[in-house]
């Protein structure tokens, strides 16, 4: 049971390059999330997927696209990377019920855009 996995762990891009961050969860959760974390800013929601087949914008969606490929996988794409997108990116999946609401985070992808 791996939980939430993310690839790659590290990436360096040049301005204008594109890339896709991959995320997968094996906990059969319906909801999945992409956050970015910057010093002094905390975690900010980029996009989320409430269930397979749906995606919605979060607080900072500009410059990103997402795909909920199936229930397990939720990818984040940067079409034309900019230095402002240098950050640590976390994927999370969520379980919720009457007595619980928990997000499980992956290990993160550290992205540098030159």
Partner 1 sequence: SQKIEQNSEALNIQEGKTATLTCNYTNYSPAYLQWYRQDPGRGPVFLLLIRENEKEKRKERLKVTFDTTLKQSLFHITASQPADSATYLCALASGTYKYIFGTGTRLKVLA
**Contacting positions for partner 1 (CB under 8 A):** 4, 31, 33, 35, 40-45, 48, 50, 56, 58, 90, 92, 94, 100-108
How big is the chain by its Cα radius of gyration, in Å?
A: 14
CB of 110 to partner 1, least distance (A): 9
- Residue 71: cis peptide before it, omega within 30 degrees of 0: no
**Cβ proximity to partner 1, 41 vs 114, nearer residue:** 41
CB of 42 to partner 1, least distance (A): 4
Distances (CA, A) of 94 to 32, 39, 48, 97, 100: 6, 24, 10, 10, 10
The shares of helix, strand and coil residues in the chain, as percent rounded to the nearest 5, are 5, 55, 40
CB of 16 to partner 1, least distance (A): 28
CB of 37 to partner 1, least distance (A): 9
Return the structure tokens found at 63. Answer: 């410059």
């Amino acid at each position: 049971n791996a939980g939430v996995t993310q690839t790659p762990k590290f990436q360096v891009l040049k301005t204008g390059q594109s890339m896709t961050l991959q995320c997968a969860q094996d906990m059969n959760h319906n909801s999945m999330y992409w956050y970015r974390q910057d010093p002094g800013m905390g975690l900010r929601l980029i996009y989320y997927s409430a269930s397979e087949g749906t995606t919605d914008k979060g607080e900072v969606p500009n410059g990103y696209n997402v795909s909920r490929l199936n229930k397990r996988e939720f990818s984040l794409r940067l079409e034309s990377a900019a230095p402002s997108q240098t950050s640590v990116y976390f994927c999370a999946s969520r379980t919720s019920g009457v007595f619980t609401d928990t997000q499980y985070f992956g290990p993160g992808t550290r992205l540098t855009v030159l």
